């Protein structure tokens, strides 16, 4: 009997406002699944910072925006934008990342390495 695929419950864009700045910029994509696990996609240099922020605060607080290490961090729930086009199973993460990246490649430049074959940290492409 085949195991039922794990569903994605939320897709978030992680926006960060630098200290003494007035603009949020996207720095990560966060997937939450029905088992309570999260998967974070961001630039290598921001991974530990964003992972620590996500683990420190409840998601509802992050949706409202929190200050973490002098940075304003906010989750923007974009799940509804992708519900109609994707089944929202964990196997859909790469196509969803593609859709996010293709929507604005300049803003989501940090996603590009996840689509390139041969990267050791890329578990999608062999």
What is the length of the chain?
126
pLDDT in tens, 58-70: 999 999 999 999 9
CA distance 98 to 115: 8
pTM of the model: 0.90
Which residue blocks in 9-107 are alpha helix, DSSP H? 44-56, 59-64, 79-83, 93-103
74: which strand partners?
A: 15
Say how far residue 33 (Cα) sits from the centre of its chain. Answer: 12
Rounded CA-CA distance 37/8 in Å is 10
SS3 of the chain: helix, strand, coil, percent, to 5: 35, 30, 35
pLDDT digits (tens, 9 = 90+) for 75-113: 999 999 999 999 999 999 999 999 999 999 999 999 998
- For residue 24, pLDDT over 70 is answered with yes
């Amino acid at each position: 009997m085949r195991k039922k695929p794990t569903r994605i419950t939320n897709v978030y864009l992680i926006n960060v406002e630098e200290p003494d700045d007035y603009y949020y910029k996207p720095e990560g994509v966060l997937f939450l699944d029905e088992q309570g696990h999260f998967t974070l996609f961001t630039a290598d240099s921001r991974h530990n910072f964003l992972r620590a922020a996500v683990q420190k605060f409840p998601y509802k607080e992050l949706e409202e925006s929190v200050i973490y290490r002098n940075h304003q961090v906010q989750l923007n729930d974009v799940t509804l934008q992708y519900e109609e086009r994707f089944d929202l199973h964990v196997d859909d993460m790469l196509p969803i990342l593609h859709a996010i990246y293709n929507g604005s490649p300049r803003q989501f430049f940090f996603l590009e390495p996840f689509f390139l074959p041969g990267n050791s940290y890329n578990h999608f492409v062999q």
